[in-house]
C-alpha cells in the first residue's frame, strides 16, 4: 500500500442541514490533511436528502481552497450525466486554480434513480457511450491538438489524472485497456473485488499515463475507543443503507442500539453483506481487519469512508484510522 485516502459524501445528518454538511466536509478535509491522508474524494449523487455533494466539482473547489497539500478529486463524476467538454472545462478550471492537486474519477452509473437521470440528461441514449466519452474527455484535457475545432479552455494541457471507477468487471477491463488507474467501490459492492483487481492487473496495458497498474480499493471504517462504541456509531450508516435499499432514502439517521427492531432481518443481512468490506471497532480491532484486507487484495492505495451522525465522532474516527493506516503503511514498506 503506497497511500491511504478518504472518500466523503458530505452526509446530511438528521437534525442538520446541507449547509452544515458542507461545512463539516471542509472541516473533515482539513483534519484529513493534517492526519496524513493522500487524497480527499467526493462523490456525485442526486436526489438524495442525506448527501450534499451533488454539485461535485463545486464542492471540490471549495475543499481545495480550504486546504493546501491534499489532493482533492471526484470519486466520482458520473460521466453519463454530463457532456465530456463540460467536465473537461470544470476540472481544467480546478486544475488551473489548484495545480497538481486535482483528480478526476469517472463512473458509468447515473448515481441516482432513472427519473432523476432523465432530468439530468434531458434524453436517454440507448447505446453505451462511456468508453468514447472517456476518450473524448482525456483528449480535451490533453495537449493542444492541431486543427481541433472544439477545445476545453481552461482544460487543454492540464493533464488532470483520470481514474476509472467501478463496482463490476466492466470498469476493470476498460481501465486496463486504456492504461489508467482503477478504483473499485468495494465499500458497498464487495462481491467482484478480487476478480476485478485480477482482470485489471493481468490485462493492464502501459500508457502515457501509467507504466504499471495502480489499483485502489475502498473500505468502510468506523473507529472509536471501544468496539461497542464503534458498533453504536456505525448503526447510522447501516440504517441509512437499509432505508436506501428499501426505497426510502433520507438524512443520516441517529445511531441506535436497537437496529434489529427497526430493520427486517433479511434486509439487514443484505446491508451487512454489502458493507462487509469494512473495519469497525477499537484501533486494535480495526488494525487487524484492515491488515487482513490489505494482505488479501494488495491494493496500491486504500480509500476509506464512513458516515457517522456526530461530526466530532466522525473526525475522531478518521483520525484514529489514519494512525492505524500510517502504521500499516510503514510496516509494509519495511
Map residue 276 onto helix, strand or coil. Answer: coil
Grid cell of 260 as nine digits: 434489529
Q: What is the CATH architecture of 1-160?
A: Alpha-Beta Barrel (3.20)
Which residues belong to CATH 3.20.20.30 in the chain?
Answer: 1-160
Report d(CA 69, CA 148) in Å as an integer. Answer: 34
**What does the pLDDT read at residue 127?**
58
CA nearest neighbour of 221 among 297, 298, 308, 148: 308
Grid cell of 198 as nine digits: 485480477
**What does the pLDDT read at residue 334?**
55
Residues ≥6 apart with Cβ < 8 Å to 113: 47
**What does the pLDDT read at residue 198?**
98
CA nearest neighbour of 212 among 241, 252, 259, 176: 176
Output the DSSP codes for 213-272.
Answer: --EEEEEEEEE-SSHHHHHHHHHHHHHHHHHHHTT---SBPPP-S-HHHHS-HHHHHHHH
**What does the pLDDT read at residue 124?**
53
CA nearest neighbour of 72 among 45, 96, 38, 107: 38
- Residues 306/316, Cβ–Cβ less than 8 Å: no
In this structure, what DSSP letter does residue 163 have?
A: E
Report d(CA 198, CA 145) in Å as an integer. Answer: 35
Alpha-helical segments (H) within 36-113: 56-66, 84-97
**What does the pLDDT read at residue 146?**
87
**What does the pLDDT read at residue 147?**
86
Ranges of residues in the chain whose predicted pLDDT is under 70: 110-114, 116-128, 332-334
Report d(CA 233, CA 231) in Å as an integer. Answer: 6
Amino acid at each position: 500500500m503506497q497511500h491511504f485516502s478518504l472518500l466523503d459524501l458530505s452526509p446530511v445528518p438528521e437534525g442538520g442541514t446541507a449547509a452544515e454538511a458542507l461545512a463539516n466536509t471542509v472541516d473533515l478535509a482539513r483534519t484529513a490533511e493534517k492526519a496524513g491522508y493522500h487524497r480527499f474524494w467526493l462523490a456525485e449523487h442526486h436526489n438524495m436528502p442525506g448527501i450534499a455533494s451533488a454539485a461535485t466539482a463545486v464542492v471540490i473547489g471549495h475543499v481545495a481552497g480550504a486546504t493546501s497539500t491534499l489532493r482533492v478529486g471526484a470519486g466520482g463524476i458520473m460521466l453519463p450525466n454530463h457532456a465530456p467538454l463540460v467536465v473537461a472545462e470544470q476540472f481544467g478550471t480546478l486544475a488551473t486554480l489548484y495545480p497538481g492537486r486535482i483528480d478526476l474519477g469517472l463512473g458509468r452509473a447515473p448515481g441516482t434513480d432513472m427519473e432523476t437521470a432523465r432530468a439530468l440528461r434531458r434524453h436517454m441514449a440507448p447505446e453505451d457511450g462511456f468508453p468514447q466519452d472517456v476518450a473524448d474527455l482525456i483528449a480535451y484535457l490533453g495537449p493542444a491538438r492541431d486543427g481541433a475545432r472544439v477545445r476545453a479552455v481552461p482544460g487543454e494541457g492540464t493533464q488532470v489524472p483520470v481514474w476509472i471507477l467501478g463496482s463490476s468487471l466492466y470498469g476493470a477491463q476498460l481501465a486496463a485497456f486504456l492504461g489508467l488507474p482503477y478504483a473499485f467501490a468495494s465499500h458497498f459492492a464487495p462481491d467482484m473485488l478480487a476478480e476485478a483487481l485480477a482482470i485489471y492487473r493481468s490485462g493492464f496495458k502501459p500508457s502515457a499515463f501509467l507504466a504499471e497498474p495502480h489499483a485502489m480499493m475502498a473500505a468502510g471504517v468506523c473507529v472509536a475507543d471501544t468496539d461497542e462504541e464503534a458498533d453504536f456509531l456505525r448503526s447510522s450508516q447501516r440504517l441509512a443503507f437499509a432505508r436506501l435499499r428499501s426505497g426510502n432514502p433520507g438524512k443520516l439517521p441517529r445511531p441506535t442500539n436497537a437496529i434489529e427492531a427497526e430493520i427486517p432481518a433479511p434486509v439487514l443481512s443484505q446491508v451487512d453483506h454489502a458493507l462487509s468490506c469494512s473495519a469497525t471497532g477499537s484501533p486494535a480491532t480495526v488494525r487487524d481487519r484492515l491488515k487482513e484486507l490489505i494482505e488479501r487484495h494488495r491494493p496500491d492505495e486504500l480509500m476509506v469512508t464512513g458516515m457517522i451522525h456526530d461530526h466530532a465522532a466522525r473526525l475522531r474516527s478518521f483520525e484514529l484510522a489514519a494512525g492505524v493506516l500510517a502504521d500499516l503503511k510503514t510496516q509494509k514498506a519495511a
